[in-house]
Each structure stands twice: as structure tokens, then as C-alpha cells.
Structure 1
Amino acid sequence: MDRVKSFKYAFNGLKLFFTNDHNGRIHLFAAVVVIALSFYLKLSGLEWIAILSVISAVIIAEIINSSIEKLADVVSPEIHPKIKIVKDLAAAAVLFAAFLAIAVGLIIFLPKLF
């Protein structure tokens, strides 16, 4: 029964992320657009793996970033230079994942579109 509860908590976390986090909704919208374009362009199996991997990487990074930000705000509600560093590093992980996703998207989609 504990395993079932852990899934319940995880799905609740996804629901909270996509309903309460502005960046989560942006990433979800971008993912839906990219997936629709991928169907339209009839990607190969390996291209699908690449696209789904980078979509997942960005969303995972953003979920971790949001978690760190919320925890940091509880630990230190006032502005603190070390908390700023932690938040900036977490945001950098999202940025890096997003750059990777853009690069993979360009490699896959540009030849098919032009």
C-alpha cells in the first residue's frame, strides 16, 4: 500500500507543478507543440527518443528547480546571498537543459522543415 501512496504523491506533485508553476505550464505547452510537430513530420524512432528525452530533461530540471526554490524560500524567507547562489544554480540547470532541447530540436526539425 505504501507503493501506491508514493505514486499518488508523485502524481499530485505533477498536478501541482503543471497547475501552480508558470514555467511548468510554459514547458508543457512547448512540449505539446513539439510532440504535435513530431507526429506531423513523422519522426523516426531514434528522433522520437531524442525529442522525448530532451522534453523530459527540461521538465525534470524545472521540477527540481521549483522544488529547490520553494524549499529555499521556507529555509530563508529573507534574501540571503548563499540561497541566491543555490537558486541561480538550479535555474542554470534548467537553462542548460533548455539549450540542449533547442539544439536537438534544430538538428531534427530544420532539415525536415526546409
Structure 2
Amino acid sequence: MRRKLTKSFSFAIAGIKYTLKTQPNMRIHLGIAFIAVMAGVAFQIPSSEWLALVIVVSFVFILEILNTAIETLVNLYTEDYHELARIAKDTAAGAVMVAAIMSVCVGLIIFLPKILNWLY
């Protein structure tokens, strides 16, 4: 049982590593998340704002990993152009984009007033 669980975790970690290694957008998301966390520390945001930040950042990471899985499966199925393959890839990428836009909105709600107070 323990060995099976360890193996399961190693597969999951391999998937995350693969996404980080092969997907430039995942590295961008990670960099922006790092900046957001550093800003959260610098501005000493309350736990409710940390919760919002963790949720939106996690959604972006989760969807980028799922987008990679969907693109990989579509590529495994066919290398030829197919309209349904395009739709699958585009909608998966669209889900990541929506999550990223929402995380920017949450970041602005949390940090913009703090930045403005700091500047003025």
C-alpha cells in the first residue's frame, strides 16, 4: 500500500515537472505566482486575501496541467489537422486564459489599493 502511494506521488510529480519543463506559459504562471506571494508577504495581506490568492493561483496551475494533458492526448491521437482536435486544444487553452484573467483581477483587487496607498 505504501509503495503504491509513493509510486502514485512520483507519477504526479513527474507530470508537474513535465509541464514546467515543456510549457513556457507554466513557467510564466509560476513566476507571476512567485511575485504575488512576495507581494503578499511584503504587504502582510490578511488570511482571507491569502486564501483568495492561493485558490486562483492553484486554478491556473491545475488548468495549465490539464491543458498540457489534453494537448498531448490530441497529439497522440492525430498529427493531422482536424477541426475537433483544434476545438479541444483551443477550449482547453481558453480555460487557462479565463483562470489567468480571473487571477489578475483578484490580484488587482488585493494589491492595487495597497500599492496606491504605498505610493501616495
TM-score bin (small chain):
over 0.9
1:41-52 matches, within 5 Å, as 41-52=43-54
Q: How far has the Cα of 1:48 moved from its partner?
A: 0.3
1:100-111 matches, within 5 Å, as 100-111=102-113
The 4+ residue runs of structure 1 with deviation greater than 2 A are: none
What is the Cα-based RMSD across aligned positions, in Å?
0.8
1:53 to 55, 60, 71: 55
Residue identity (%): 39
Distance 2:61 2:42 in 1: 23
Unaligned runs of 5+ in 2: none
Unaligned runs of 5+ in 1: none
Q: TM-score, normalised by structure 1?
A: 0.96
Larger Rg: 2
The number of residue pairs the alignment matches comes to 114
Q: TM-score, normalised by structure 2?
A: 0.91
SS of structure 2 residue aligned to 1:78: coil
User: Aligned partner of 1:83: which letter?
Assistant: A
